[in-house]
Structure 1
């Protein structure tokens, strides 16, 4: 991630909130102001609380299609955020990325992988198929964990 990626990242963030935005009575400028505020707050939070994270832009054929924010801890690898543009969703890319992360975690000391996922996020079914289980109810989110088989 570089400073020049922020516009893409903001658009990507908005794509993850479109369903929610469609249910508001706001006009377009109000929606965009909300997105700008939320994206900025999220970005600042992530930067502050995950100082050693990898901030990765996912590309396919030289085109930006997503983001992966990821941090390696002593006992766990934490997916801070993963998102793909709508055109890249439901094509197996998320599963392939998760498989790579799982292989990496298993090869680096048999580490678990954790991620917070909104309960209404359609990707939760992918995490379950990949072997992630709910380990903590965090209100709107569930903390999911994958543990490698030994």
Structure 2
């Protein structure tokens, strides 16, 4: 069954007190910029740039990243992870022959570290395994999430540019 990951992940999301909905590139842009910025704070603190320079750079990079994803993954599911009243994260998935690509998963800082991302990835692994799909992803080697992915059974296959390409199989 190609696609439909939003519906298949909905029960897990509900158990976590979360919802999933399709991203609206127009309406959700401000939230997505803010979320993206939280993933780069430590890295950019080392640049010595002024606050306006950092904000401008993060805004531009957020937009470029989303444009890249939409261009190179036109059939992907771009999902927002929602708390009770507002978005708290994003989950981008692309199914292709033999694999489910976990393109991106991110939460706002207040929603990190409580196992929600792990639970969603475990659900992806279970569901993908039932479909006979491997789960693949790219991660920067200095990203702390790489330790989580290794614990979850992902193996590094190769370096692609600045990323480790990792794969999990049932």
TM-score scaled by length of structure 2: 0.84
Q: Deviations over 1:20-68 (max 9, x none)?
A: 1111111111001111111111111100000000000011223311100
Q: How many residues align?
A: 147
Tell me the distance in 1 between the aligned counterparts of 2:43 and 2:98.
35
Larger RCO, structures 1/2 (Cα 8 Å, 6+ apart): 2
Partner of 1:35: 58
Tell me the distance in 1 between the aligned counterparts of 2:143 and 2:119.
18
SS in 1 for 2:28: helix
Tell me the distance in 2 between the aligned counterparts of 1:84 and 1:72.
22
Tell me the distance in 2 between the aligned counterparts of 1:62 and 1:105.
29
Which ranges in structure 2 are unaligned for 5 or more consecutive residues? 1-22
Which ranges in structure 1 are unaligned for 5 or more consecutive residues? none
Matched, 1:82 2:74: no
Cα shift at 1:139? 3.9
Tell me the distance in 2 between the aligned counterparts of 1:124 and 1:63.
28
SS in 1 for 2:27: helix
SS in 2 for 1:62: coil
Which 4+ runs in 1 deviate beyond 6 A? none
Q: How does 1:48-63 map to 2 (within 5 A)?
A: 48-63=71-86
Task: Report the RMSD for the aligned CA atoms in angstroms.
Answer: 1.0
